[in-house]
Structure 1
Amino acid sequence: MTAETTESPRRAEPEAAAGTRKRAARWPAAVRTPIGACSAVLLAAVVLLAVLAPVLWGDRAAAIDTDAIGQGPSRAHLLGTDSLGRDIFYRTLVATRLSVELAVTATAIGVMAGLVLGTLPTVLPRRAGRLVTSAVNIAVAFPGLLLALFFAVIFGVGTRGAMFAIAFAMAPAFARLAQTLAASVVARDYVSAARVAGVGRIRLLVRHILPNIGEPLVVNATVGAGTALLAFAGLSFLGIGVQAPAYDWGRLLGEGLDGLYVNPAVALAPGVAVVLAGLAFNLVGETVAAVVGVRTPSARIRERPVPAARTAPAEKTGMEPLLVVENLRVAFPGPAGWTVPVRGVSFTVRAGEAIGVVGESGSGKSLTALAVSRLIEAPGVVTADRLEFAGTPLLTTPERELRGVLGTSLAMVFQDPMTSFNPTLRTGRQLAEVSEQHQGLSRGPALARAVDRLRAVRIPAAERRARQYPHEFSGGMRQRAMIGMGLMGQPRLIVADEPTTALDVTVQRQLLRLLARTRETENAAILLISHDIAVVGQTCDRILVMYAGRVVEDLPTADLTTVPQHPYSRALLDATVELDTDRDRPLAVIPGRPPEPDRIPVGCAFAARCERATERCAAEDPEPVPVGPGHRVACWHPHVPETAGPRSGRETVTAGGDE
């Protein structure tokens, strides 16, 4: 370990403290906004009254004056008196403590119960999760007031019963909100990346899901506090909430109902108090969400760090299969039956080998990569005659045992790194999590290794960048950081799912060079998925051409421009624009469009778009057969080179523009 990597944890600790101070400094700026100022004033007033009113005016509020029973507003009694001659103004002020305490407590219980119910489906088995979801959906169907009355009957009349009644009446709405938010986060790529890294379900929930749904929950919790305040007032008004001699704003409303027409202030005072307290809770929630939502700390630029030494190339371990895929199928249930977007894919990847997978959108490329990475979730079903990685069967080995294998030996680079990283965590912390989980490193050394891996993928000022959030990186830099995350372990296979999409050609070339250098230094195999057959041809040793969920041609890259035999492979090549493309000729296109996964035709799926198709193509689906060294083609009428004759029972057809 170098001196710089040893010092980086020490540097990170002061920077973390500085980040905390900067986050605290945002509060004054938020309070200076109109909403923030109003919320601060109202909240301060409510808190001060809740704390001080019973101490300052508790005796006056309880004092009975038989000579002033039922009087209206006067100099002695600002808002008049009740049926026992007690001052309504002081009683309203003193009732602030109990009203706010009960509302906040009920909200806290309701939010926690709803959060537990809402996030349980993400950690429970699928059937148990469905049961919890169904129970929440049934509870949400009932009006909140009806639920509150129902629970009030169960828990009994009184302060405690009303508190639990309102709390459990609020829980289903928070559970539904938490379910919706958690479901949107679970679908993100950074959660899938954490699963590949072997992060457990509970840690996945606490570290990657809850931080990303916290802001809307905070806002809804504060709104819920205002709602709980109103609900308590309603229950106490009906006589099933707070009981004498205690009183809250709702009970004051109920006691003054008889004299409402004589002295409207009896209802005006507690009613205004409920409105102002509820408004305070709502505005505070908006202010908190605005402060928490700021993600861009103004980091001070440090001096450029010294680049790490290059790792010596690893020795080749031979050509043993690293990944073996035989007859891989991925299916999803649908209204009309099972849809099979990946149909019988077979290939092998050897140590240090680079395999490219090309094809149009919907051909099954990404699903194949996800199936290999064990990221296809229910209700999707993955089957295969053989699916092994590093000698470990992926379909039969328990998930707990696979974490150590996939988390350190398989790296996944997703198409969109913006959704692949957790936006609430700093980039260095996300990389360090891999070492903490699988290598047993503590926080400091894991962060030091993360900085070292960022240097390895040529990210300048790696220490500073490790303290930044993903949105502060450029697109190409995020992709490099994703590769750096894969290098936190000892990757033997890097699955890159269209890593150059939406990047300019300069960054694209740098990224491809980085993958090639990683392959050389780490002896890692690469499975590169791309729409661009030219990019794959420059980077990989072999190319798999996929169409409609099948591999239609498997050929060496050296033969790509000379002897591709499947009509679809040749059409992809013809549609590639190069510098020497004739500008006077119209651009080549492939007529038609790929079939939908649930409408795969009988026979060859490409027949409807192929000029060489015959009746046999529409009736029988060809299987891949060898046509040369390391070359397989699934076609009844392949383009056979002039020096070779028909092979493996295939016919040679000269119609349709064959040279």
Structure 2
Amino acid sequence: MRTSRNANASRMGARWLAALTTPVGAVSAVMLFLVLTMAVAAPALWSGQAEEMNTKAILQGPSAEHLVGTDSLGRDLFFRLLVATSLSVKLALAATGIGVLAGLVLGTLPALMNRRAGRFVTAIVNIAVAFPGLLLAMFFAVIFGVGETGAVLAIGFATAPSFARLTQTLVAAQKERDFISAAELAGVGRLKRLLRHIMPNIAEPLVVTATIGAGSSLLAFAGLSFLGLGVQPPSYDWGRLLNEGLNDIYLHPMAALAPSLAVIIAGLAFNLFGEAVAKTLGTPVAAAGKGAAPLRVPRPAAVESSTTADRTAENDDAVLTVRDLFVTFPGPAGPITPVRGVSFSLARGEAVGVVGESGSGKTQTALALAQLVDYPGQVSASRLEFLAQDQFAGTARARRQLLGTSLAMVFQDPMKSFNPTMRIGTQLAEVAIRHQGMNRRSALARAADRLRAVRIPAPKRRLRQYPHEFSGGMRQRAMIGMGIMGSPALIIADEPTTALDVTVQRQVLGLLSTIKEEDNVAILLISHDLTLVGQVCERVLVMYAGRIVEDLPAGDLAGQALHPYTQALLAAVPNMETDRDVPLAVIPGRPSDPSQVPVGCAFAARCTKASELCTREDPQLVRQEDGHRVACWHPSRDVGAPPIPMELKMHAAVLQGDAS
């Protein structure tokens, strides 16, 4: 835990330090350093000179003795300007702190309250945001009274609504992340989820916003003091000096111009530094140990023995070898295991489909293979090798380097996978810059080549466009292009065609097949659609309740499936011969809950062939005489004549013709 925290702190420090390497960041950092140094040192160094009155030098203009001139009491305005830095910056930072604290409270309350109370707080914040900040500050200044304390509270509460609105947006976005759902599933309370899982992930943008807000508070405070609502005599800040200098602006303009310049310079220092950091945070800094590494966790012996009884034949050319893969999340009533003892291998140039209903463990299996299962999830396996390298051994950095260059993932919704604020070229180039050490020019050239490879026209022009300027099919192809920025040995495609029309589906699937054939890339295609998988893949893995229940050639789907669940899935697929006057076939019952997997075969409650043995013992995945692997006590092909989709019949005929 301590190592993880140190790594996180190191990464955050590296990202903030990167802001200083940009021209704007370096200049603004120097400006901010000088302002803060002056705020600390000036009162101790020059308070005497600033308060010294000289009746012989009243209202003098700039001179060698008085660089900015003197005021109505003969006091040196240059030294007063330097000393005023302390009070101006101190009060601005105090107001910013109050605004940030109040904004955090208002922004996080909806996540802790019930829905009705949360909506009420959100509505209050939305109404407050609609008012101009300076108007709110003046309103609160009247309520809290004239003076430093009232002005600090007024500006703090005036800036709180905008900060609260940002916090609400960031918290709401994080609540949709998978690891937050896993924490909720594990029984973690709302407050603990907020403090432990959400706040660390939104800290950076909040800190950047607070830095920029400090500059705005500085300007607002100077404005209130100028209007006579802020600092009162005998104290003085830049706004008070501006107010005093305005009376004689035509005779003595530097008395008003100097504090104005001080406010502008200090405000720019805060704002530019915040902007530089915000821009730098958009460029990830390479670091070791990023992402969750698989963890070995103990498994129940009974389950382990059933999953390891039948192992697939070893393949010397295997890209991926998985043995007894488990994914476990802690739950209020015990461990929740959405993946239970999955075993298979994948050879170079082989396309394997994974099918099953929602909740069968397909996506969790893919995430575990890519090491994307977030805490508190735990991944274990007796063997997990990718390109002959043990994924439980070595350093996290080495694993991420291997996966980043040799494994590609194509997600269901590329719009959520692409950053909407970054150009497509920048996002594709980032892969080559980070994992292949290319410079920006070479990486962009590689990105254009990859877009051309996935048949996107005018690739150089498309590199400059944003994701929303691409159609759905083009975004999916660009996602595949990002995956092949390196030289992937394996592409995991998780429902890559769900949101696409049939024409674009065919294009995307054809593209994956072309990449597989030309580059000898293995493909793991996850889908609900047996017809689609049967057309693209050579082998099909059928998953139910976190286990592989059947492993068979794709050509055997048309009438050769052995497991009742596979047969039921095939029967539920409509085709051109389906009688429209008859209700569509469905699988009765509901999939089993991963937190309450029944004893015996998980499909027994929905199976027409279930016996007493099925409810007592879980069948092992064993190899049959025809080479199929099936986990069933009663495997048979007496399907009850389910309608086999025409597409599968045609695909099976093609495969048989190729074999002959």
TM-score relative to the length of structure 1: 0.56
Q: Structure 1 residues 404 and 216, CA, compared in 2 at 3 Å: closer, same or farther?
A: closer
Quote how far apart the aligned CAs of 1:581 are: 2.2
Quote how far apart the aligned CAs of 1:519 are: 0.3
- Residue 484 of structure 1: aligned partner: 481
Q: 1:571 aligns with which of 557, 568, 579?
A: 568
How do residues 587-598 of structure 1 correspond to structure 2 at under 5 angstroms? Answer: 587-598=584-595
Q: 1:624 aligns with which of 621, 625, 631?
A: 621
- Residue 102 of structure 1: aligned partner: 89
Query: How many residues in Structure 1 have an aligned counterpart in Structure 2?
Result: 432
- Residue 393 of structure 2: aligned partner: 396
Q: Which amino acid aligns with 1:391?
A: A
- Residue 340 of structure 2: aligned partner: 343
- Residue 425 of structure 1: aligned partner: 422
SS of match in other structure, 1:618: coil
Structure 2: state its 5+ residue gaps.
Answer: 1-52, 56-71, 74-80, 106-146, 179-198, 244-262, 280-314, 640-660
SS of match in other structure, 1:184: helix
Cα distance in 2 for partners of 1:104, 1:535 equals: 65
Quote how far apart the aligned CAs of 1:221 are: 7.0
Q: Is 1:244 matched with 2:244?
A: no
SS of match in other structure, 1:516: helix
Q: Which amino acid aligns with 1:361?
A: S
> In the alignment, is the contact (CA less than 8 A) between 1:233 and 1:248 conserved in 2?
no
Q: 2:578 aligns with which of 565, 569, 581?
A: 581
How do residues 486-525 of structure 1 correspond to structure 2 at under 5 angstroms? Answer: 486-525=483-522
Q: Which amino acid aligns with 2:624?
A: V
Cα distance in 2 for partners of 1:464, 1:485 equals: 16
Cα distance in 2 for partners of 1:111, 1:468 equals: 41
Quote how far apart the aligned CAs of 1:586 are: 2.4
Q: Which amino acid aligns with 2:170?
A: L
Cα distance in 1 for partners of 2:375, 2:439 equals: 34
SS of match in other structure, 2:93: helix
- Residue 325 of structure 1: aligned partner: 322
Q: Is 1:383 matched with 2:370?
A: no
> In the alignment, is the contact (CA less than 8 A) between 2:351 and 2:537 conserved in 1?
yes
SS of match in other structure, 1:604: coil
> In the alignment, is the contact (CA less than 8 A) between 2:325 and 2:340 conserved in 1?
yes
- Residue 312 of structure 1: aligned partner: none
How do residues 520-539 of structure 1 correspond to structure 2 at under 5 angstroms? Answer: 520-539=517-536
Render the CA deviation track for 1:42-62: whole Å, top value 9, x for unaligned: xxxxxxxxxxxxxxxxxxxx9
Q: Is 1:448 matched with 2:450?
A: no
- Residue 549 of structure 1: aligned partner: 546
How do residues 602-621 of structure 1 correspond to structure 2 at under 5 angstroms? Answer: 602-621=599-618
- Residue 408 of structure 1: aligned partner: 405
Quote how far apart the aligned CAs of 1:227 are: 6.8
SS of match in other structure, 1:343: strand
Q: 1:184 aligns with which of 173, 190, 207?
A: 173
Q: Structure 1 residues 243 and 491, CA, compared in 2 at 3 Å: closer, same or farther?
A: farther
> In the alignment, is the contact (CA less than 8 A) between 2:224 and 2:230 conserved in 1?
no
Quote how far apart the aligned CAs of 1:623 are: 1.0
Cα distance in 2 for partners of 1:526, 1:112 equals: 52
- Residue 461 of structure 2: aligned partner: 464
Cα distance in 2 for partners of 1:441, 1:183 equals: 36
Cα distance in 2 for partners of 1:112, 1:514 equals: 53
SS of match in other structure, 1:571: helix
Q: Structure 1 residues 411 and 241, CA, compared in 2 at 3 Å: closer, same or farther?
A: same
Q: Structure 1 residues 403 and 595, CA, compared in 2 at 3 Å: closer, same or farther?
A: same
Render the CA deviation track for 1:42-97: whole Å, top value 9, x for unaligned: xxxxxxxxxxxxxxxxxxxx999xxxxxxxxxxxxxxxxxxxx99xxxxxxx9xx9
> In the alignment, is the contact (CA less than 8 A) between 1:212 and 1:424 conserved in 2?
no
How do residues 258-277 of structure 1 correspond to structure 2 at under 5 angstroms? Answer: none
Quote how far apart the aligned CAs of 1:639 are: 1.7
How do residues 133-282 of structure 1 correspond to structure 2 at under 5 angstroms? Answer: 181=170, 184=173, 244-247=234-237
Cα distance in 1 for partners of 2:479, 2:210 equals: 34
- Residue 363 of structure 1: aligned partner: 360
Q: Structure 1 residues 245 and 319, CA, compared in 2 at 3 Å: closer, same or farther?
A: closer
> In the alignment, is the contact (CA less than 8 A) between 2:224 and 2:239 conserved in 1?
no
- Overall identity of the aligned pairs, in %: 54
Structure 1: state its 5+ residue gaps.
Answer: 1-61, 65-84, 87-93, 119-157, 190-208, 254-276, 294-317, 643-659
Q: Which amino acid aligns with 1:102?
A: V
SS of match in other structure, 1:465: helix
Render the CA deviation track for 1:197-253: whole Å, top value 9, x for unaligned: xxxxxxxxxxxx9999999888877777777888999999xx998883425779999
Quote how far apart the aligned CAs of 1:395 are: 2.4
Cα distance in 1 for partners of 2:218, 2:612 equals: 72
Greater mean deviation of Cα atoms: 498-507 or 599-608: 599-608
Cα distance in 2 for partners of 1:393, 1:212 equals: 34
Q: Structure 1 residues 364 and 250, CA, compared in 2 at 3 Å: closer, same or farther?
A: farther
Cα distance in 1 for partners of 2:323, 2:475 equals: 33
Q: Which amino acid aligns with 1:551?
A: I
> In the alignment, is the contact (CA less than 8 A) between 2:534 and 2:557 conserved in 1?
yes
Quote how far apart the aligned CAs of 1:606 are: 0.8
Q: Structure 1 residues 223 and 581, CA, compared in 2 at 3 Å: closer, same or farther?
A: same
Q: Structure 1 residues 252 and 407, CA, compared in 2 at 3 Å: closer, same or farther?
A: closer
Q: Which amino acid aligns with 1:106?
A: L
How do residues 63-142 of structure 1 correspond to structure 2 at under 5 angstroms? Answer: 102=89, 106=93
Quote how far apart the aligned CAs of 1:585 are: 3.0
Cα distance in 1 for partners of 2:443, 2:592 equals: 47
Q: Structure 1 residues 371 and 252, CA, compared in 2 at 3 Å: closer, same or farther?
A: same
Cα distance in 2 for partners of 1:446, 1:252 equals: 52
Render the CA deviation track for 1:555-610: whole Å, top value 9, x for unaligned: 11111112101111001101111122233332111111112211211111111111
Q: Structure 1 residues 573 and 514, CA, compared in 2 at 3 Å: closer, same or farther?
A: same
> In the alignment, is the contact (CA less than 8 A) between 1:622 and 1:636 conserved in 2?
yes
Q: Which amino acid aligns with 1:426?
A: R
Q: Structure 1 residues 457 and 100, CA, compared in 2 at 3 Å: closer, same or farther?
A: farther
Quote how far apart the aligned CAs of 1:102 are: 3.4
Q: Is 1:334 matched with 2:370?
A: no
Cα distance in 2 for partners of 1:446, 1:112 equals: 43
